[in-house]
Structure formats: structure tokens, C-alpha cells
Amino acid sequence: MSSLIHFYQKLDVDFIRGEGCYLWDTSGIRYLDMISGVGVNNLGFSHAELNVEIQEQIQNYIHLSNLFKNSWSEKLSDQLIEITHLHASFFCNSGTEANETAIKIAKLYAYEKNIENPKIIVMNQGFHGRTLGALSATSNQKYKEKFGQLLDDFIFVDFNCIESIFKVIQQHHVCAIMLEPIQGEGGIHIASTLYLKQLRKICDQHKILLILDEIQCGLGRTGYWFYHQRAEIIPDILTIAKGLANGLPIGACLVNQKLNDLLTPGLHGSTFGGNPLACRVALKVLEIIKREELILKNKQKGEYFINQLQSKFTSIHGIKSIRGVGLMIAIELNERIDDISQQFYLQHKILINITQNKIIRLLPSFLITEDDIQYFCQSLYDFIKNQNTNK
């Protein structure tokens, strides 16, 4: 029996090694990983170039207090700003912390503007993390109901529905709108380009902050550095985490210039945030994505993947819908299949993740090949067919 708190339903397998998008267990069996640590190991496991960065940095130091200048965090911030056209970054250690930072900045903005009882609009099916603030902004009642009174700053509306935004703005003093351009945990729901443009316009007109959480859909996965760039908009605040340092804990909250002017020493902080090791690796991650043209490749692989899925699964019972952009893909089943991850791993040696009970969420590493994709599609086809005949 494990002495860990039982917060997770874990697969009973002991992986000892990883390389690229494969993992090996103690008996030497190889598994194809379609989850990437839930969108973290974007450049696969044990990446040689990243390993060099890690080894070199630990010879110098791992941690340096934020009381001192740290050139790795400054260089990383410069890179992120170049990519996003935002103005300044704050580094922390996770996605939820990046969102906490964003929420605090929105509240501070409302305070400075003397907005009475300010509200933040967030989305149904949205997910922003597990700390009390980010949880308050998260829609899933199952995650919240046992934790009493959370922040009352948030108003939930339907995703991709601009009318409901207008309604709330008429009734409340709204200081920010916060959303994932592609809802990950919620089951891969994609904001339309028009919706994103409309949000930007409303926010400009009403001096409302647009906060985008690209913790899961950002950093090249969708065929864009950040998915909102498809709509040619710039948010006021952007949160990033997951794949940024390919597995080392890091989160970032980026802000525009006006917001940066409100932020002064003492308002926020983090002991580990911006640590040189994670920042140095993140810098290399960005360099590799650029140099290897992975964003374009992700777009092409995603198109290939969705085509494969659609051509294979149109005539088979059990699949409700297939949707996605780049390497962020959902296969929604008609019905829940119990233990599907376990069965799939045992029968086909492939690791998948299920969200919302019946949505297979695929977040493979950027290193996945067309052969891997074909192998996955054939395996899933066999699996679903088998389910159908066993019914």
C-alpha cells in the first residue's frame, strides 16, 4: 500500500525510463505516450539537449533568491515577450499559481480604478487550477462543492456565447474576462476566431482585462505559439505553464505595459519562482521549438491525425465526435467505457487520458511520428470494435 494521499486514481505501472514519446516499464515493455504528462513533456522524455542544460546548470546553482538578479529568468522573459507582444513576466512554479497571479492583478486593477464589487467573467467547462482562487474560477462543481465559500468574484457564462457576456456586463461591474482559448480539462472545446475577436473588442470598449489561460493549449501545440494568435489579438494577461520547461516546474504570468505600471515590490512573490534551472531549460525549449520548426510540424501532424481519425471512425459505432487543433485532440465517445485507460494500456501498450468521463484527450509529444499516429488510430479502432462486439 502506498502512503501517498489518495488524490489520484493511478495506473498500476512502474515506468523506469523514457525517451522521446515512449516509456519503458520494469519488464522492458515499451509504451506509446499520448498524454505527455498532461501536456508537459512536449519535447518527449530525456531530451539530450535539455539534459545538457540541466547538467551544466546544476554545476553552478539550482536556486537563487529573487533578492538577486537572475539572468536566466530575464532572458526567458525577453523571449516570451518577443513571442507574445506582451510587456513583462512574473515566474512561478505551476499553472494554478500563474492564474492566482492573474486574478490578483485583475483585482488590483479594479482596486486602482475604484470599481465597486468588481466581477471576473469565466466560462462554463473552464479549468484554471486547484488553489482556492483558481478553483473559484473553475467551473466543475465536483472540484468545488466540499470546500465551502470560495471567492465570490466570478460569474460563469457559456463558452463561445457572446450574448451572455453582454448581459453580464450590463448587470455588473466587470473588471476582467478569463478563459482558455481551447478548454483542455473541459474536453477540448475550441473558441471561435470570431468569439476571440469579439471578446477583445468588448474588453477594449469597456476597459475590461482580457485574461487568457494558455497553460495547456499554448507553446506551439496547436500550430500557433499561442492559440489566440490565430485571431490576431493580444490579451492583457496571459498565463503559461505545463510544457514551458518540458517537465521542470514553472509557470508564468505575462502582462501588458499598463498593468506592469501598477505592479510594485511587495504585492506578490514566490520563493522558487523564476529559479535559474527551470528558466534555463525553458529558454532551450523555446529555442528548440523555433529551430526545429515544430509549430508548423504540429499543425501538419494535427491535420494528418484528424484526417486519419475521421476516415477510420466515420462508420463505426461508439464515437460521438472528433475535434481538435494541432496536437490537442479529443475523441468523444457515446458512452463511458469503464477503465478504458487501463484496458488500453494493457491491451495496446498506449497511454491515454480520459476527461469528462467519456472524452479521450490526446496531448502527444511534438516528437510523435506519422507511424505512431497510425499505430494509435489502428489500436483505437480495434479496441472500439472489440467493445462493440462484446456488448
The contact set with ligand PLP (CB under 6 A) reads 94-96, 99, 127-129, 180, 184-185, 213, 215-216, 241-242
Cell of 240: 503559461
CB of 320 to ligand PLP, least distance (A): 22
Complex with ligand PLP: residue 215 or 331, whichever CB lies closer: 215
Segment (H or E) for 303:
helix 294-313
> How many residues are given for the chain?
391
Complex with ligand PLP: residue 173 or 230, whichever CB lies closer: 230
Cell of 76: 526567458
Residue whose Cβ sits closest to ligand PLP: 95
Cell of 188: 477540448
DSSP state of 153: -
Complex with ligand PLP: residue 221 or 348, whichever CB lies closer: 221
Complex with ligand PLP: residue 43 or 178, whichever CB lies closer: 178
CB of 207 to ligand PLP, least distance (A): 25
Among residues 101, 67, 54, 97, the alpha carbon closest in space to that of 276 is found at 54
CB of 97 to ligand PLP, least distance (A): 7
Complex with ligand PLP: residue 160 or 379, whichever CB lies closer: 160
Q: Rounded to whole angstroms, how far apart are CA atoms 363 and 305?
A: 12
Q: Rounded to whole angstroms, how far apart are CA atoms 214 and 219?
A: 8
In a 10 Å sphere around its CB, with 0-12 CB exposed, 13-18 middle and 19+ buried, how is residue 262 labelled? middle
CB of 232 to ligand PLP, least distance (A): 22
Among residues 383, 373, 350, the alpha carbon closest in space to that of 29 is found at 350
- Please answer whether residues 142 and 159 qualify as being in contact, where contact means their C-beta atoms are separated by less than 8 angstroms: no
CB of 180 to ligand PLP, least distance (A): 5
Complex with ligand PLP: residue 157 or 215, whichever CB lies closer: 215
Complex with ligand PLP: residue 103 or 380, whichever CB lies closer: 103
CB of 314 to ligand PLP, least distance (A): 30
CB of 121 to ligand PLP, least distance (A): 16
Give 329's strand partners. Answer: 324, 362
- Please answer whether residues 59 and 211 qualify as being in contact, where contact means their C-beta atoms are separated by less than 8 angstroms: no
Among residues 318, 320, 312, the alpha carbon closest in space to that of 375 is found at 312
Cell of 242: 505545463
Phi, psi for residue 353 in degrees, rounded to 5? -125, 140
Complex with ligand PLP: residue 185 or 236, whichever CB lies closer: 185
CB of 252 to ligand PLP, least distance (A): 11
Phi, psi for residue 112 in degrees, rounded to 5? -65, -30
